[in-house]
Amino acid sequence: MKEQEFKALLGRNVKFLRAHCQFSQADLADKAQISITYLSNIERGNTFPKARTLLNLAKNLQVDVYELFKPEIVPEEHKDVVGRLTEAIRTRVNQTLDQIFAQYSQ
């Protein structure tokens, strides 16, 4: 496994487990004592966290550290559903913001 694939795997698992625990990024970042930006970079596979951060993430996600690296933690069918939901949410938020902007810019 290449380094980028390893980071991406970790990121997918953290994001999946965070959603499973019903934590927002802000919730988990606060619990793990890291910034939201840093957590976002981990979830997108851009950053590999230090050992202390891995321990904090695992503790707050209620898993052992090794489980953050299990390839099968996010079932394939969930990846597609999460992607579609993310896009649907993004679209709806943008539509709502456009409506608010139009209302206040008149």
Q: What is the pLDDT of residue 73?
A: 66
Q: Which of 3, 30, 11 is nearest to 73 (CA)?
A: 11
55-58 contacts, C-beta under 8 A, 24 or more apart: 56/31, 56/32, 57/14, 57/28, 57/32
pLDDT in tens, 17-27: 999 899 999 99
For residues 53-60, average pLDDT: 96
CATH code for the structural domain at 1-73 = 1.10.260.40
Least trusted range by pLDDT, from 1-5, 75-79, 96-100: 75-79
Domain boundaries, the chain: 1-73, 75-106
Q: What is the pLDDT of residue 87?
A: 73
DSSP 9-66: HHHHHHHHHHHHTT--HHHHHHHHTS-HHHHHHHHTTS----HHHHHHHHHHHTS-GG
Asked whether residue 61 carries a pLDDT value surpassing 80, the answer given is yes
Q: What is the pTM of this model?
A: 0.69
